[in-house]
Amino acid sequence: MNPIGMALLLTTGLGLFGVSALRRWQLLFAGATRPSRVNGSWRKRLQRTLRDGLLQSRVRREAGPGWAHSVVFLGFLVLLARTVTLFGRGFDREFNLWLLSSEPTLGLPLGSIYLLIKDACSLLVLAAVGYFILRRIWWKPSRLRLSKEAIVILGVIAALMISDQVYDGASLALLRDANASERLSGTANTVWQSPLNAAIAQLFRPSTPSTLKWLVHFGFWSHAVLVLGFLNWLPYSKHFHIITALPNLYFAPLEPPGKLPSVAETAEELLEKADQLQSMPEKRLTPLGISQIEDLSWKDRLDLFACTECGRCSEHCPATRTDKPLSPMQLTLDLRKNLLESGERLLAPNQGAGRDENRRLDEATSFIPQVIGTDTIWACTTCRACEEQCPVGIGYVEKIVSMRRELVLMRGEVPASLQRTFDGIERHGNPWQLSRDDRASWAKGLNVPHLADVSRTQVLYWVGCAASYDERAQRVARAFVTLLQRAGVEFAILGNEETCTGDAARRAGNEYLFLQLAQQNVETLNKYYREGRFERIVTACPHCFTTLGNEYPDFGGTWPVSHHSQYLLELVRAGKLDPVFDPSQSVTLHDPCTLSRYAEDLISTRQLLRKLPKASIREPEHNLNFTLCCGAGGGHMWMEERGPKRMNEARTLELLATGAQKVVTACPFCSTMLADGVARVPTAHETEILDIAELLSAACKSN
């Protein structure tokens, strides 16, 4: 081998990669004004990295390509030791890694075992590459793009496997040649140690020693050049995720899924920050929203470099599926392109000196709407389907909500229908714009006590705006109250003291309105909880459930909170409710996004259904945490949906395809959206949309 040539190759290859990697590293931090949310136990983050990263659990959610990718990933890990060995042999042809040498280590033939595993991995990787090529050309899903880069990368991976086998096979053939004048060490010499090498050596045996030597050098140097060439290509291709994916998984937040970061503790503080951002741009304060690359934290930027362009996020996005102007993958790629194009500005020597007075709204630096259109930003339902599918832990919802904060708080750009909703919440405490005094009118005739009138109770039933004002959701509230009374549970409601939790306002970007509502609700609940007036909160709305349980702790509100499906399951298990069901009924379950992907409760509603002993449960195509959004989240319940397809209709058709007589859900917004979807399908008018509480109430009445 040639030590000088190897030294020159390594110095050049690693040096060029170092320059490219350094620039990417600098782009992660340059000019960032927003801190990252890296939190939680390092042990939990490490466990997640091992599970989702090294063990590829998220990748294999899609069986065929998932297993093929895992094979390629395993092959790279196994071949890494081989690559290091070959680089060492460029300086010393006797070089071997200690554990993988031809001599036994601690009495074990580890080197021979490794060669056997390496052969198997090489064959599996070549098979996986063939599968991917066929999938790109003949079986291509709509989410994938047939790019030259993808084909070239697959070719390089195959060439790496082949070049290594050519080196080993030719070396073994040369070693077996009786006329060989030199012995190349570190090669397999028995069939059981390296059967693939033995087969290739047999293929090469008719060759002359000079040809075999040429093949040895060709395999060796082509492998080394391909490895370093591939390494230098990574920073400029989507395959940079090979380096960034594991760190991205490790540094992803450990907070409850979908929890949004707080930009202020009170509404007053938020107003003060907004004034400072506009009057003192030179201070480089943390922005309230996101409108330019400087506003992305280093973890946000790492997300952009980690994207694998697999398209799973867009394939499962309800907006993309219904032809809205939002593709989570494309949003990430557009932001990454903008980051790279902004590199010169970000890395300029005087970049950190401060912002120009009009910097935040400067068309030259803001990517809204030049890069990311406002229609794209408002198309998101914040359902988190994209984040659930992403194999490398990219966060989408927080970025989109932060862009909405920029539009709402700093620019005052709000869709007209959403502005009416904001006005209704601010003036009346509910998005239906109905009187606060009517908040408890739904409970007339049910003898429902108010918390202010009782000294102590077990359950505070948080009714929510939907059940307080929407006629459809009021039926759910009455059914739930009937079940509580039947089970002998002591409960009360807040009545007019309750107001909107602000979930829709927050996810629609109106953080100021959310903070006003959060302050009011936390103060009210803390007063009664400190007095021991209630033990736990139960609500039938998943949006209220996650807001009270996950978001309000940031503002001083921490109480036991349960969703009504969870509490009803407790009552059934305790024997306080004894349901019976008509055997002629079949049901299908729509999993609400907020309950399944935010609260991560995939079992309570199903277990309740299974407690109905004769119920026939039919699962739709998309279920559990892969459920398909009804289209109501992120403020869309009150926004006009544009485009030829409607999200609720798409989900309704999927549920109706099960042939079930009843559609069961556990969210008032889902019930409304699905009922509207059924009304738009001429053949589906006999299909009932029921909340799990309504179904359970009917089953218990028949007892």
> In the 3-class helix/strand/coil scheme, how is 311-355 assigned residue by residue?
CHHHHHCHHHHCCCCCCHHHHHHHHHHHHHHCHHHHCCCCHHHCC
Is residue 676 one of the residues assigned to a domain?
yes
Beta strands in 614-679 (DSSP E): 616-617, 662-665
Please count the structural domains in the chain.
4
pLDDT in tens, 434-463: 999 999 999 999 999 999 999 999 999 999
Over residues 245-298, the pLDDT tens digits come to: 999 999 999 999 999 999 999 999 999 999 888 877 666 778 899 999 999 999
Q: CATH number for the domain including 471?
A: 3.40.50
Residue 619 located in a structural domain: yes
What is the per-residue pLDDT for 109?
75
> Pairing mode, if any, of strands 534-539 and 561-563?
parallel
**Is residue 22 a part of any domain in this protein?**
no
Q: Is residue 33 a part of any domain in this protein?
A: no
pLDDT given for residue 157 in this prediction: 92
With bands split at pLDDT 50, 70 and 90, how would you rate the model's confidence at 682? confident
Does any domain span residue 435? no
Confirm whether 450 is domain-assigned. Answer: yes
In this structure, are residues 513 and 422 in contact, taking their beta carbons and an 8 Å threshold?
yes
**Tokens linked to 678:** 């059924």
Q: Fill in the amino acid letter for 604.
A: S
Mark whether 406 and 528 lie in a shared domain.
no
Confidence of residue 652 (pLDDT cuts 50, 70, 90): very high
Are both 453 and 496 inside the same structural domain?
yes
**Same structural domain, 187 and 85:** yes
State whether 55 and 167 are in the same domain.
Answer: yes
| Structure tokens belonging to residue 59 | 């990748």
Q: Is 416 exposed, middle or buried (0-12, 13-18, 19+ CB in 10 A)?
A: exposed
- What is the CATH number for 330? 1.10.1060
- CA 166 to CA 177: how far, in whole Å? 16
On the 0-12 / 13-18 / 19+ scale of CB atoms within 10 A, 312 is buried
Residue 536 near residue 559 (C-beta atoms within 8 A): yes
Interval 575-586 mean pLDDT? 80
Question: Is the N-terminal amide bond of 369 cis, ω within 30° of 0?
Answer: yes
- Same domain, yes or no, for 100 and 243? yes
Instruction: Give just the sign of the alpha carbon dihedral 570, 573, 575, 581.
Output: positive
User: Which pLDDT value is given to residue 192?
Assistant: 56
Residue 234 and residue 215: Cα distance in Å, rounded?
A: 28
Cα of first residue to Cα of last residue in the chain, in angstroms, is 86
Q: What does the pLDDT look like over 510-569, one tens digit per residue?
A: 999 999 999 999 999 999 999 999 999 999 999 999 999 999 999 999 999 999 999 999
What are the CA-CA distances from residue 314 to residues 132, 379, 647, 674 (Å)?
A: 20, 13, 14, 22
Q: Are residues 265 and 246 in the same domain?
A: no
Amino acid (1-letter code) at residue 100: L
Q: Is the pLDDT of residue 354 over 50?
A: no
Q: Are residues 489 and 603 located together in one domain of the fold? A: no
337-345 own/partner pairs: CB under 8 Å, 24+ apart: 337/371, 338/293, 338/367, 338/371, 339/27, 339/293, 339/296, 339/301, 339/304, 340/27, 342/293, 343/23, 343/27, 343/30, 345/31
Residues 170 and 309 in one domain: no
- Which of residues 522, 544, 573 is at a domain's end? 573
Answer yes or no: is 433 within a domain: no
Q: What is the average pLDDT score of the chain?
A: 89
- In 3D space, the residue among 270, 289, 272, 268 whose CA is nearest the CA of residue 280 turns out to be 272
Residue 134 confidence (pLDDT): 87
Residues 221 and 329 in one domain: no
Contact 252, 47 (CB under 8 A): no
Reported as a pLDDT band with limits 50, 70 and 90, residue 106 is low
Q: Which of 198, 224, 250 is the last residue of a domain?
A: 250
Q: Are residues 108 and 232 in the same domain?
A: yes
What is the total residue count of the chain? 703
Q: Which residues span the domain enclosing 515?
A: 440-573
Same domain, 284 and 240: no
Same domain, 100 and 67: yes
Residue 17 lies inside a defined structural domain of this protein: no
- Tell me the mean pLDDT in the region 585-607: 94
pLDDT confidence bin for 584, thresholds 50/70/90: low
pLDDT number for residue 1? 63
- What letter would DSSP give residue 40? S
Domain end point (choices 231, 250, 269): 250
